Amino acid sequence: MENQPEFLGEFETKMRAAGVRETAIRAFKHSYQSLLAGDTGMMPEDSIQVVSELPHLEPIMKGPLDRQHNGTPLPGPLPFGRVEGEPSSDFGVDQSKLLSETVLLKLNGGLGTSMGLEAAKSLLQAKNELTFLDFTIKQVLHVRQKFGVPLSFVLMNSFSTSRDTVEFLRKHPELGPPEQLELLQSQAPKVDAKTMRPVEWPANPQLEWCPPGHGDIYPSLLGSGLLDRWLSEGRKYLFVSNSDNLGANLDLDVLSYFAASGKPFVMEVAERTASDSKGGHLARRGERFLLRESAQCPKGDLSFFQDTRRHRFFNTNNLWIRLDSLKKVLEANNGFVPLPLIKNEKTVDPRDRNSPKVLQLETAMGAAIQCFENAGALVVPRTRFAPVKTTSDLLALRSDAYEITEDWRVVLAGERQQPPTIDLDPNHYKLVDELDAKLASGVPSLKNCQELIVRGPVLFNSGNVFRGKVSVTNASSQPRNLPPGEYQDRSIEL
């Protein structure tokens, strides 16, 4: 501890030499000081309160007749109607004006390395030969044309995704200069776990750095000048979501709710299910909301943490933020938002287990809910949380279980309320190129499929139609074709 000022000076010198913004340096110093102070970020069950009731989006979509949900008043009056509908002023709010005051920002710093990708994940083919970024761009252009407003659109790239993404954006000159559509995420030095100093790795100096997590969005918006520019242009509202979540379109119902609520910060949450028991949940401490991740829960409290009936809501990472309120929080905290530390233990070279152990200090943007007075949360349908994290998710998305609307949203087909449950053999389908090879003859129909389990290397084709619960097994190590045909509630051995 006595060397803390010296160590901080080493980190500051290194970050300034690399051109890191001052606001990001201050945010890193806050995280590093939390690390040295032994701040574990632990949140015992008896230190938080359960969130049992929240406003829901469904009553808002239905109209003003139901102005409460489970006793929780909804703000009003509100305009109702979706982006694909005609602009409405029935409730005294001009939707075009709301859109002109809004900025759409997509987090685009991920590479999708868990699926074997080496470029921006948003550039992966999602559906009908269109990438995730294609869908976002088409949605933005649709809104601009339909409502006649210059909807602001920005991507927050990392150093790993910037080049490929900017080149991709050059294919869409109607959006504007690519460089003006980018907010570049900062980078943080990895901390040598043994010395607590900046790690040195001459074999590849770039590996001495890591992304600081998407909590970096706040100091980066201020340090880049974007926040002040938006405020000077009359922008009021910021909607942030992940680029791989095609369910997170700019929804006018949610925007209208947020604008009418007067709240500085609103998080979209969804109901937890058994499959979400290990993921973080929303809680409360006093008058403020907070997020608790599994790493912040003492082992003795895990049974409470995993009880989805007790802790009912999880963060979709779809956030709505008033820009003037964000500016006030940043100014009050020397240019950054004091977010809880996330400490990741790694090796300096991820591919070399014998390389020095390091600590990567990160923050999550959703944790800012505890930093805004009177922040809120809104329960949205599960369909607004549809990230693609695995090739199983990607197969469902590429199939006819999803369809594309006229305004370029990707939604569940027909009467489906949830996507099919897909379990692909990780030994043969973990990577995207492995999935692509199995789909060379076409994507099977999953429109009426409830569950699909695949074991072994199976070659699918567009003539495969699955209904109900189906399992397909190839016990050999050689790929085998599944003959065209309809398969319903059965197990197939190849």
Q: What is the Cα–Cα distance from 474 to 192, expressed in whole angstroms?
A: 46
The CA-to-CA distance between both ends of the chain, in Å, stands at 63
Q: How many domains are contained in the chain?
A: 2
Torsion over CA of 303, 309, 315 and 320, rounded to 10 degrees? -140
Residue holding tokens 């406003």? 55
Q: What is the Cα–Cα distance from 244 to 142, expressed in whole angstroms?
A: 19
**Do residues 62 and 297 lie in contact, with contact meaning Cβ atoms separated by under 8 Å?**
no
Query: Are both 346 and 463 inside the same structural domain?
Result: no
Q: Specify the CATH number for the domain of residue 248.
A: 3.90.550.10
The phi-psi region of residue 43 (left if phi > 0; otherwise alpha if psi is between -120 and 50; otherwise beta) is beta
Q: What's the pLDDT score for residue 76?
A: 38
Final residue belonging to a domain, choices 357, 384, 411? 384
Query: Are both 433 and 291 inside the same structural domain?
Result: no
Residue holding tokens 């802790």? 311
pLDDT digits (tens, 9 = 90+) for 94-136: 889 999 999 999 999 888 887 888 888 999 999 999 999 999 9
Q: What's the pLDDT score for residue 342?
A: 85
- Nearest to residue 235, comparing CAs of 333, 137, 162, 154? 154
Final residue belonging to a domain, choices 384, 403, 429? 384
Instruction: Return the number of other C-beta atoms located less than 10 Å from residue 208's C-beta.
Output: 19
β pairing state of 102-108 and 152-157: parallel
Torsion over CA of 20, 333, 2 and 361, rounded to 10 degrees? -50
Residue 494: partners with Cβ closer than 8 Å, 6 or more residues away: 456, 458, 472, 473, 474, 475, 476, 480, 481, 482
Query: Are both 153 and 252 inside the same structural domain?
Result: yes
Query: Are both 480 and 404 inside the same structural domain?
Result: yes
Query: Are both 168 and 66 inside the same structural domain?
Result: yes
Q: What's the pLDDT score for residue 5?
A: 59
Q: What's the pLDDT score for residue 74?
A: 42
Q: Would you call 139 helix, strand, or coil by DSSP?
A: helix
Q: Would you call 273 helix, strand, or coil by DSSP?
A: coil
Query: Are both 179 and 127 inside the same structural domain?
Result: yes
Which domain does 480 fall in, by range?
391-493
Q: Which residues of the chain have pLDDT under 50?
A: 1-3, 63-92
Q: Specify the CATH number for the domain of residue 424.
A: 2.160.10.10
Q: What's the pLDDT score for residue 60?
A: 65
- Crossing angle (nearest 10°) for helices 22-36 and 4-17: 150
Q: What's the pLDDT score for residue 86?
A: 37
Q: What's the pLDDT score for residue 245?
A: 92
Query: Are both 300 and 427 inside the same structural domain?
Result: no
**DSSP tag of 81:** -
Query: Are both 324 and 397 inside the same structural domain?
Result: no
